[in-house]
Chain A
Amino acid sequence: MDGDWDQVARIPFPPPGVRAMATPVTTLAFDPHQELLWTGNDYGRVMSFYGAELQRYTSFKACTTHGDLKQILVNDKGVIVLGSRDIHMASRRGPPIWHIQHEAMKDLQCMSFTSKSQTEILVAGYQEKMFVIDVSKGEITKEISTAHSYKIMKKSRYICAATKDGLIDMIDPATLSIVRSWKAHSALISDMDAQHDFIVTCGFSLRHTQSYVPDPFLNVFDIKRMTPMPPIPFPAGGAFVRMHPRMSTTSIIMSQTGQMHVVDLMNPHTSNVRQVNVVSSLVTMFEIAFSGEAIAIADSASQIHLWGSPSKMRFVDFAQPCEFATADVPLPAIEWTSETPLNSIGMPHYREVLLSAWPDMVSDVGAPPPTLDPQFLATLKATDFGLYGPNTRGLRRNQVEDTRKADKATVVGIQAPKFLSEKARESAKAAGNTTGFDDGVDDVADT
């Protein structure tokens, strides 16, 4: 890590409503292609922030019903968001692409890409089933039974999956079978990363006082030789760890209080120490950008800290441009009078069928208006704005009535066809003979 690294931005994580309390970040992820930081909260909402100033970009609800978001994965098409009972994929700009809910998804916790092309993911959690999902189609392609409950997944050569009791399974991404298991910590694993040839873990052990205490070391596993390496001491108690994406043997460890060490796994005695300014709160999450030039830290006071070199801060090396709303061209003001034709605003250039193209359909026009049943009218109360009362007609609201057919039903035998005007006149007469439409209204009004 360079000498000039410092806090570049710190923003309070936006609350879920105008008057609502701020909520802590439940998941953080850097975008591998654009200058974006993705966050999830415990209302199922995903928010993205652009660039070094962490300017708000898009925000959308991914999972409505089941609380906090567990993990976010980003590929070239969009973001995949994991909730505990559903998986949602959306474009970076917010519109949804697909959404999967399945009755066997009970308590999902983690996911990982399986292939290099990032078109397939493996999803697991505190449940007996894992799912393989085709990302481009948005379909479950395979269900796998598993003996372990997985909490964290990271993909390097294998999919490294941490269970909730301190074990790490290395899963072959092609066959999805467990290649090897490694007991990394005695009680639980708080964080894990796998990159290049290493798996690094931070964990807790259970002391006899029945409290969890962070282990004062970082555990390392060498994937190439398939053996654990000697643990690297970290007296402050490691809670979070990430491998540096560029320097293949460097990892960054962080304690809950914000003490950060940058350590070379091959030469653990020289380390670079920094302190993140988390005032009266604890670090809850930590993530490093794909360029290695920025790290994001979330704390329990719902703040997001962004660290990096202020001069060359970037999340991705060759960032694709972020798609913002098209800039508004100032338009001539038109004074609208009743005479102004609507074509004073031109159509944009187009080649396809317009949306206003109306499909072929038969519409019945000019049928006589439906008559209201006088018995129904009698149940209504009259006010100066009209009659009101509950709908007791036995029809749905706004139900279409076939007034032509209703007329025909009363006619016995074949009769000469009538003009519409004649029919209307007749029905008015018929209504007048019984209680009468107009009279009925007056009757009600008088009472």
Chain B
Amino acid sequence: ISGQIMSNLDMLMHQNDGLNSTLYQEIENGRLFRLLCKLGTINERQEFDGDRQWSENGERYMIKLFRDYVFHQVDSNGQPVVDMGHIVRCLNKLDAGTEERICLTSRDDQSAFVVSYKELKKQIGSAFGELLKGRTNA
């Protein structure tokens, strides 16, 4: 019977490993989803129309440009490029707020900013915090 016990134990271990690796695969989803929720709730809100912070010389303008940078990639012919790798990579860097700098360009190519993920993280965090504050006041 000792052989049976050993193989049983072995299978249990294997199953445990399998569960663990599936867990690690899926643990990212919640994090990325929460991040997307934050971005989704603050971007393009109608009540921010006319707010100087979101206008072209405001602090929040970079958040709009970052959304375009992540989701609206195009190739050299202007064809849309959908690259999940790029999206996840950018969101991961944003989530951690790395020192890496990226160049954000406006749609008319007239404005070019060099911004670090750390600065973007701070801006998005404060924009979201403001949103929550407005909710409790109302």
Q: Which of A4-12, A175-183, A278-286, A320-328 contacts B (4 or more CB under 8 A)?
A: A320-328
| A/B interface sample: 7 pairs, CB < 8 A | A17-B108, A64-B55, A323-B101, A325-B114, A331-B89, A348-B98, A352-B97
Is the Cβ of B101 less than 8 Å from the Cβ of A324? yes
Known: A96-B58, A354-B96. A59 touches B114 (CB 8 A): no
Contacts of A93 in B (CB 8 A): 101, 113-115
* Chain B residues packing against A (C-beta within 8 Å): 24-29, 31-32, 34-35, 37-38, 52, 55-59, 62, 84-85, 88-89, 92-98, 100-103, 108-115, 119, 121, 124-125, 132
Q: Give 1 or 0 for each of A292-319: 1 = CB within 8 Å of chain B CB.
A: 0000000000000000000000000000
Tell yes or no: A61 within 8 A of B by CB.
yes
Report the separation of the CA atoms of residues A64 and B56 in the bound assembly, to the nearest whole angstrom: 7
Is the Cβ of B125 less than 8 Å from the Cβ of A63? no
Q: Which residue of chain B is the closest to A97 with respect to CB atoms?
A: B59
Report the separation of the CA atoms of residues A341 and B94 in the bound assembly, to the nearest whole angstrom: 19
Interface of A is mostly: loop
Report the separation of the CA atoms of residues A8 and B109 in the bound assembly, to the nearest whole angstrom: 27
Closest 4 CB pairs of A and B: A94-B113, A341-B25, A350-B96, A93-B114
Interface of B is mostly: helix
Contacts of A94 in B (CB 8 A): 111-115
* Chain A residues packing against B (C-beta within 8 Å): 16-18, 44-45, 56-64, 88, 93-96, 99, 323-326, 331, 333-334, 336, 340-343, 345-350, 352, 354-359, 361
Is the Cβ of A358 less than 8 Å from the Cβ of B57? no
Is the Cβ of B59 less than 8 Å from the Cβ of A96? yes
Contacts of A358 in B (CB 8 A): 34, 37
Contacts of B29 in A (CB 8 A): 342
Q: How far is the CB of B129 from chain A (nearest CB, A)?
A: 8
Contacts of A341 in B (CB 8 A): 25-26, 28
Contacts of A18 in B (CB 8 A): 108-109
Report the separation of the CA atoms of residues A348 and B32 in the bound assembly, to the nearest whole angstrom: 14
Known: A88-B57, A347-B96. A59 touches B110 (CB 8 A): yes
Q: How far is the CB of B88 from chain A (nearest CB, A)?
A: 5
